[in-house]
């Protein structure tokens, strides 16, 4: 079977978030899917197969980190849609049946792809004891992001603080199901982004995720309320970095980005 490595939420190779993508005839056993994801060893590997025509979705889609299956993944969905469109395996909007319901990816003529995801429900919580020490910075506010995302969202003082984080990943494990989203308002919005973030997910085997689409389903409502606009651009300030366009539509959030196929080959095992 063919396997591709795709850099998502970027328009150039070796940036954004890399994902493995495999298009299958059907899903093999979970152990095989997990072993392939471990071998690929990127934040997520996406597995997809076509569904019979006439249903509510066109393709079934699952995502695995090197250690576990996850309920939602934005960048690997973007990467899968990119592969489907660039190879001619699917034309036009594609509907994915996933653990998070039906997710739609719509290509545009400029090469970008827009994902339609559920908006994360935000619930303000007290900053848990130990989070400041684990992050190395004092949060201003903290929010639970609900079951699909499973992160603790924390607002920090400024962009410089977010960029300078050097967290204790082991200590972060105690504070959420998946990990921590750290965010702050952009210091210079004229540079093309309205807010910055970094995402640390040690509970699913990812110390720092390069660019996280699912996190932006929580960042979009958080910053749209504060900035008074429904359309924003987030910069995930990881070492690889990448931009995510967001548009808040009530219970749904649109995520816009680009992707580049970097490696294509055969899975022999």
Residues taking part in catalysis: 44
If DSSP states are collapsed to H, E and C, what string results for 2-45?
EEEEEEECCCCCCCCEEEEEEECCCCCCHHHHHHHHHHHCCCEE
């Amino acid at each position: 079977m063919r396997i591709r490595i795709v850099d998502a939420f970027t328009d150039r190779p070796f940036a954004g978030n890399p994902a493995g993508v495999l298009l299958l005839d059907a899903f093999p056993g979970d152990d095989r899917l997990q072993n392939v994801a471990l071998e690929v060893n990127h934040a997520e590997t996406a597995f997809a197969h076509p569904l019979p025509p006439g249903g509510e979705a066109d393709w079934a889609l699952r995502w695995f980190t090197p250690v576990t299956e996850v309920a939602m993944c934005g960048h690997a969905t973007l990467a899968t849609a990119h592969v489907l469109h660039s190879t001619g395996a699917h034309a036009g909007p594609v509907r994915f049946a996933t653990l998070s319901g039906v997710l739609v990816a719509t290509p545009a003529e400029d090469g970008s792809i827009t994902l339609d995801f559920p908006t994360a429900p935000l619930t303000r919580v007290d900053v848990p004891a130990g989070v400041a020490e684990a992050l190395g910075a004092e949060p201003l506010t903290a929010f639970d992001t609900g079951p699909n995302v499973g992160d603790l969202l924390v607002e920090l003082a400024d962009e410089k603080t977010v960029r300078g984080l050097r967290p204790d990943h082991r200590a972060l494990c105690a504070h959420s199901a998946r990990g921590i989203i750290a965010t702050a308002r952009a210091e210079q919005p004229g540079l093309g982004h309205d807010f910055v973030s970094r995402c640390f997910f040690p509970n699913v085997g990812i110390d720092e995720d390069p660019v996280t689409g699912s996190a932006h389903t929580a960042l979009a409502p958080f910053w749209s309320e504060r900035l008074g606009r429904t359309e924003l651009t987030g910069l995930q300030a990881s070492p690889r970095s990448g931009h995510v366009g967001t548009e808040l539509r009530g219970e749904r959030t649109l995520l816009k980005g680009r992707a580049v196929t970097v490696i294509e080959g055969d899975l022999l095992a």
